[in-house]
């Protein structure tokens, strides 16, 4: 079992289980599954960025931007949901370029702070913006029209299935991209950016393109979120959301991609369970975060992957030593 196969199996298992479970449960659970799937897409966008060594603490900005752009195009300007989706994703792309050009000059902790600040900027804007009703939020956001296919998108079951399928598609797309030379270079940059520069790679452009792609997917998640709640609220871009999605990714395992999906599912359902049973459930959430940070710092799937990798490596080293020994015997 290689780490790669494990990740695929886990991902497939999660998708299939989620699909089956939501079909078999009631409306409320179906809404949760939809929420989890949307957050999973969001987490995937963040984890993709993390693969090139950049961790953003402001990704909720993209989520909010996608949602508000979708709302703006569809509700305020009357475009069809599909066109508005394109508009939302494009907004994410443009923001990715504009913010990335400044933010990518910084690294590490500074990048964390800059992205946080950028998201806060967006939050502050929509909080006060009369265009979108500010803090009161804007209602009337419509979902896609799937009438042509015979499915009613407003049926929670259908919408949840739709979101899970999109999550699966995004996941497979990102896994593919990471298997290409571009993805390999991103991985290398996260390990040793200086060496990538020394072997001829323009690190800035790799990172910028990853940031833009990540922003586009984050905006896509925002579009879905707006459709899910049929409502726009500034809270979608608050730093709590940025923190939440970061934690989803860390809990699952930074860089594993499928870890983000698992983390999203865990956090969405955990919050629901905790909040229905306890008044001050942030306390328990905080304790869980602390526990995960101290006990499985590589994340749940991350730790598994790490262990498999090490086992794979000792096997490879034994094989190599065997080979060299063979060659030694063969030579006179």
Partner 1 sequence: MTTLATTNLCKSFGALAVTQSVNVEFASGSRYAIIGPNGAGKTTFFNLLAGNLRPDSGQILFDGRDITALDVTARSRIGIARSFQKNNLFNDMTVHENIALACAIQSNSGFVFWRPASAMKNVHEKAEAIAAQVGLANERRTLAKYLSYGGQRQLEVGLALACDPKILLLDEPTSGMSPQETARMDELLSELPRELAVIVIEHDMDIVLGYADHITVLDYGRVLEQGTPEQIRSSQIVRDRYLGEDAFGAESAS
Partner 2 sequence: MILEPQFIAEQFLNSLQFSMLLFLLAIGLSVIFGLMDYLNLAHGTIYMLAAYLAYSLAQMGGNFWVALVFAPLAAAAIGMALYLLLLRRAERATHLVQVLLTVGVIYAGTDILRMIYGDLPLGLSQPAALSSPVNVFGVSYPSFRLFIIFLGLLIMGVLYFALERTRLGALVRAGVDDRETAETLGVNIGMVFMAVFAIGTYLAGLAGVIAAPIFGVYPGMDVSIIILVLVVVVVGGLGSLKGAIVGSLLIGFADTFGKLLLPQFAMIIIYMVMAAVLVFRPSGLLPARQFNG
The contact set with partner 1 (CB under 8 A) reads 176-177, 179-185, 187-188, 191-192, 194-203, 205-206, 209, 309, 313, 316-317, 319-320, 323-324, 327
Question: What are φ and ψ of residue 123, in 5° steps?
Answer: -60, -45
Question: What are φ and ψ of residue 183, in 5° steps?
Answer: -65, -40
Q: Which of partner 1, partner 2, none is residue 208 near (CB under 5 to 8 Å by kind)?
A: none
Least distance between partner 2 and beta carbon 90 (Å): 22
Least distance between partner 2 and beta carbon 261 (Å): 18
Task: Give the Å distances, CA to CA, from 246 to 36, 43, 48, 110, 213.
Answer: 14, 7, 12, 16, 17
Task: Give the Å distances, CA to CA, from 23 to 12, 30, 41, 315.
Answer: 17, 8, 20, 43
Q: Which residues of this protein are in contact with partner 2, per CB under 8 A?
A: 55, 57, 102-103, 105-114, 116-118, 120-121, 124-125, 128, 239, 243, 246-247, 250-251, 254, 280-283, 285-290, 292-294, 297
What angle in degrees, to the nearest 10, is found between the helix axes of 181-198 and 203-229? 140
DSSP 250-296: HHH-TT-SHHHHHHHHHHHHHHHHHHHH-SSHHHHHHHHHHHHHHH-
Measure the CA–CA gap between 249 and 241, rounded to whole angstroms: 12
Nearer to partner 2 by C-beta: 16 or 124? 124
Least distance between partner 2 and beta carbon 50 (Å): 8
Least distance between partner 2 and beta carbon 130 (Å): 9
Least distance between partner 2 and beta carbon 283 (Å): 4
Q: Which of partner 2, partner 1, none is residue 307 near (CB under 5 to 8 Å by kind)?
A: none
Nearer to partner 1 by C-beta: 9 or 316? 316
Cα 195 to chain centroid distance, Å, stands at 28
Q: Which of partner 2, partner 1, none is residue 41 near (CB under 5 to 8 Å by kind)?
A: none
Q: Which of partner 1, partner 2, none is residue 128 near (CB under 5 to 8 Å by kind)?
A: partner 2
Q: Which of partner 2, partner 1, none is residue 323 near (CB under 5 to 8 Å by kind)?
A: partner 1
Nearest to 66 by CA among 258, 255, 228, 254: 228
Measure the CA–CA gap between 6 and 44, rounded to whole angstroms: 17
Q: Which of partner 1, partner 2, none is residue 148 near (CB under 5 to 8 Å by kind)?
A: none
Structure tokens belonging to residue 210 = 């990853």
Cβ neighbour number for residue 306 with a 10 Å cutoff: 15
Q: Which of partner 2, partner 1, none is residue 185 near (CB under 5 to 8 Å by kind)?
A: partner 1
Token pair 């919408």: residue: 159
Least distance between partner 2 and beta carbon 129 (Å): 8
Nearer to partner 1 by C-beta: 81 or 213? 213
Nearer to partner 2 by C-beta: 188 or 247? 247
Under 8 Å between Cβ of 289 and 247: yes
Nearer to partner 2 by C-beta: 246 or 258? 246
């Amino acid at each position: 079992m290689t780490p790669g196969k494990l990740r695929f199996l886990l991902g497939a298992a999660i998708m299939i289980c989620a699909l089956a479970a939501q079909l078999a449960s009631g409306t409320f659970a179906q809404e949760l599954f939809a929420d989890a799937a949307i957050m999973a897409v969001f987490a995937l966008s963040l984890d993709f960025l993390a693969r090139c060594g950049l961790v953003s603490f402001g990704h909720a900005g993209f989520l909010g931007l996608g949602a508000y752009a979708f709302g703006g195009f569809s509700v305020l300007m009357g475009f069809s949901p599909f066109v508005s989706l394109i508009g939302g994703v494009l907004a994410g792309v443009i923001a990715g370029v504009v913010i990335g050009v400044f933010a990518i000059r910084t690294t590490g902790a500074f990048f964390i702070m800059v992205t946080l600040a950028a998201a806060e900027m967006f939050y502050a804007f929509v909080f006060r913006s009369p265009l979108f009703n500010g803090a009161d939020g804007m209602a009337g956001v419509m979902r896609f029209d799937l009438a042509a296919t015979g499915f009613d998108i407003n049926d929670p079951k259908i919408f949840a299935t739709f979101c899970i399928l999109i999550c699966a598609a995004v996941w497979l797309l990102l896994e593919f991209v990471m298997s290409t030379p571009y993805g390999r270079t991103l991985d290398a940059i996260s390990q040793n950016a200086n060496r990538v520069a020394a072997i001829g790679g323009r690190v800035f452009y790799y990172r910028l393109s990853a940031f833009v792609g990540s922003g586009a997917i984050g905006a896509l998640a925002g579009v879905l979120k707006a459709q899910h709640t049929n409502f726009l609220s500034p809270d979608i871009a608050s730093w709590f959301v940025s923190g939440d999605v970061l934690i989803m990714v860390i809990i699952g395992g930074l860089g594993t991609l499928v870890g983000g999906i698992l983390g999203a599912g865990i956090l969405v359902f955990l919050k629901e369970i905790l909040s229905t049973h306890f008044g001050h459930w942030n306390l328990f959430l905080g304790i869980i975060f602390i526990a995960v940070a101290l006990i499985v710092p590589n994340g749940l799937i991350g730790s598994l992957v790490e262990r498999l990798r090490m086992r794979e490596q000792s096997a490879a080293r034994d094989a190599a030593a065997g080979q060299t020994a063979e060659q030694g015997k063969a030579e006179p």
